[in-house]
Structure 1
């Protein structure tokens, strides 16, 4: 069986409903990717989530939720005296902002046990991680994770990095820039968003973004750009432009990038070209942002 591992932090999510109430769920950028990948990949694939959670009721409930949605949790470590983070979503005209409570979240211990980390990365076919995966770690542990991913990549794993900037999670703008370049340097596939790259690095064009990540070793780069065309570069084929999918009913952009990552990687590992994978990813993300919350089971004919 092939194994697709997403690595990072899942949190308790409170998302607004039409009745001005909040609905409790579980989400987080890399878990969202895992959830969508599970919907898109066949039974020959195990979709796994790699993280650290507590030994409390909220953590147990999260694990049960993941298992109930077909995500393998054998790559999650439980530790005492910690719990999971929590966030709320505020929406205005379909655009979201977040409030977080995650200071003592167990996921910050992801790179503390190097032997365990190596063990969950070993033998995976695909590993996806993000800028948030790096940002939540203590600064000295980011290189530990990078080293472990380098070993996995050298052994044949396809490593994918979704830059996913959250400036408030980093100690400084410089630390964020260094962290993003570090993440890209250990990845085959890099999935940045141009508006974030423009803010973080001062990029003038998607070509600037592609050049930076190409120069540190990425083989495939897909630069998302909202409603504008996506620029895709591969080592083999150079740069191509993929037209955007028009959306007239923007409801909630919470998991646009996460579902894009799942759609892109799922298509890629099933034989699609990078441009075909970009089109599939864009089509999925366009559907997702027309639903509330990070996860949109309605798209796949599910109700939960």
Structure 2
């Protein structure tokens, strides 16, 4: 007698996961001889962060039918992700990324080997078995639509199906200009996808490029006028800005970031922020509590090596929030 099928995921995420090699010593990649193997990908960072907080997260993607793809699948499953929609592609390889070890909190230099990767072959057919009616939330970024035309079609499909099913949607632009044919096409596509989302989470520089506006207020209004319910803008160490009408009344505020004694690796800070905001809103917390949690997990993320190693489990998050008291 076969085991009963596990329930469909409550949170859906999709994109590209890559095998990452992080330099064990500082310096240029050309000089580094030894690396640590990890996984990388903005979309998987958020998916892992939400899974660590106890959510049932489904991951839709493609990896190569190779050792790196097997490593990614095993790592994601060990993190608690539901990989029923992760396809092994026999014709395309898993994407790779190599990252320098940076000193003094500087952004580390990263080199990608992802052209024609398995994930770039994502297409509409890959979502045929997704049960949107069972989901609570979909998280999307601007990375999948940058990978290929077919992956872009999938991105539109995922957001449209989620909206039709009444699923809440978060969207982080996660700009990757080098993957796009032109800046104009990037801005047009990502703004169209953001218009289908409920919660839009750009960085300040990203928002300025995408909207043509300078201030956080104007950037937020750009997306609110196009249908978003809330816009949360990452301001880096200064914190973040919220503008929206979650809970019925429109409000705007800025919350400062949390001081960090030593920044080890800045990659993944924005993904940690997204984990905090999304998880808090799904927990039924107020916008102010959600933004504070975003700032908190973003600060945790930059204190360790690796893109997702600093993302807390629920017990650790409870400890951190208990020490903060009520948000001001």
Moved more, 283-292 or 231-240: 231-240
For 1:200 and 1:218, how far apart are their aligned partners in 2? 15
Query: Aligned-pair distance for 1:145?
Result: 2.6
Residue 303 of structure 2 corresponds to which residue in structure 1? 290
Q: How many residues align?
A: 296
Q: Return 5+ residue gaps in structure 1 as ranges.
A: none
For 1:121 and 1:53, how far apart are their aligned partners in 2? 21
Q: Is 1:260–1:281's contact at 8 Å kept on the other side of the alignment?
A: yes
Q: Is 1:264–1:280's contact at 8 Å kept on the other side of the alignment?
A: yes
Q: Return 5+ residue gaps in structure 2 as ranges.
A: 1-6, 27-31, 317-328
Residue 256 of structure 1 corresponds to which residue in structure 2? 269
Query: Aligned-pair distance for 1:121?
Result: 5.5
Residue 116 of structure 2 corresponds to which residue in structure 1? 104
Residue 14 of structure 2 corresponds to which residue in structure 1? 7
Query: Aligned-pair distance for 1:75?
Result: 1.7
Query: Aligned-pair distance for 1:299?
Result: 5.0
**Paired residue for 1:22, among 32, 35, 38?**
35
1:230 aligns with 2:261: no
Residue 85 of structure 2 corresponds to which residue in structure 1? 75
Change (3 A) 1:131 1:121: farther
For 1:178 and 1:216, how far apart are their aligned partners in 2? 13
Residue 4 of structure 2 corresponds to which residue in structure 1? none
Residue 141 of structure 2 corresponds to which residue in structure 1? 130
Q: Is 1:37–1:262's contact at 8 Å kept on the other side of the alignment?
A: yes
For 1:297 and 1:221, how far apart are their aligned partners in 2? 25
Q: Is 1:121–1:149's contact at 8 Å kept on the other side of the alignment?
A: no
Query: Aligned-pair distance for 1:201?
Result: 4.1
Q: Is 1:245–1:282's contact at 8 Å kept on the other side of the alignment?
A: yes
Query: Aligned-pair distance for 1:149?
Result: 1.6
Query: Aligned-pair distance for 1:89?
Result: 1.5
* Deviation by residue 1:60-111 (Cα, 9 ceiling, x = unmatched): 2211111112111112122221121111122253212321100011111222
Change (3 A) 1:229 1:298: closer
Q: Is 2:145–2:153's contact at 8 Å kept on the other side of the alignment?
A: no
1:216 aligns with 2:226: yes
Query: Aligned-pair distance for 1:148?
Result: 3.5
- RMSD, aligned α-carbons: 2.1
> Where in structure 1 do 4 or more consecutive aligned residues deviate above 6 Å?
none
Q: Is 1:160–1:190's contact at 8 Å kept on the other side of the alignment?
A: yes
Change (3 A) 1:196 1:56: same
SS at match of 2:193: helix
Q: How does 1:63-212 map to 2 (within 5 A)?
A: 63-90=73-100, 91-94=102-105, 95-113=107-125, 116-120=126-130, 122=132, 123-138=134-149, 141-212=151-222
Q: Which has the larger radius of gyration?
A: 2
**Paired residue for 1:240, among 248, 253, 256?**
253
Q: Is 1:222–1:230's contact at 8 Å kept on the other side of the alignment?
A: yes
Query: Aligned-pair distance for 1:298?
Result: 8.2
